[in-house]
Amino acid sequence: MDRFFFFMLVLLGPVLAHTEYKSSTPAANSTVKGMPQAVVIRFSEAVEVRLSTFKVYPLEAPPEVWGSATRLRQLAQPLVRRVLLLKNDAARRADAGLATTAHTSQTVTLVLKPGLKPGAYVVMWKNLAVDGHTQSDFFVFVYRP
C-alpha cells in the first residue's frame, strides 16, 4: 500500500505544484542605492504573461521602517489587496508596464518610470501559470540613494 501512495505522489506532484516566485532584481527585501530601470521577476515555471497582472506601487512607509522587511510587508499587504486588480491605475503606479513580450515566460520584466523618489516600492502580481493555476504574491524593495 505504501508503494501506491509513493507512485501517486510522484504522478500528482507536478499537477499539485504552483508557479512560485523564485528570485528578482532588485531582490525581495533589498535596499538599492540606485533606482533600477526595470524590475525582473523570475518564477519557478512559465506564466501566461498577458493573462496575468504585474504592478509596482510606491509604498507610504516612513524611513525609520525601511530596514524592517517584516514591517514593510505588513504595510504593503492592505495596499496589494486594494490595488492589485484595479484597472486604469497607471498614473499611480511606479511602473510603465511590461517589457516582456513573450506570451509565456518564466521571467517577467516591468519597466520603471524615470525619476522615482527614494522610498519603499511594492512589486505585486497575480499570475496565471501555464498549468491553469493562479498565484498572487508581492515583495518590497527600498530605494535609498
Decide if 77 is inside a domain. Answer: yes
For residue 7, the SS3 value is helix
Decide if 7 is inside a domain. Answer: no
HSE-CB for 42 with a 13 A CA cutoff: 7
pLDDT at 18: 77
| Count of Cβ atoms closer than 10 Å to residue 114 Cβ | 8
Which residues of the chain fall below pLDDT 70?
1-17
Question: Angle at Cα 32 formed by Cα 80 and Cα 47, nearest 5°?
Answer: 45
Domain ranges, residue 90: 19-143
| Closest listed residue to residue 54, CA positions, set 92, 114, 130, 109 | 109
pLDDT at 139: 98
Decide if 114 is inside a domain. Answer: yes
- For the domain that residue 69 is a member of, what is the CATH number? 2.60.40.1220
Residue 125 to residue 90: CA distance in whole angstroms: 15
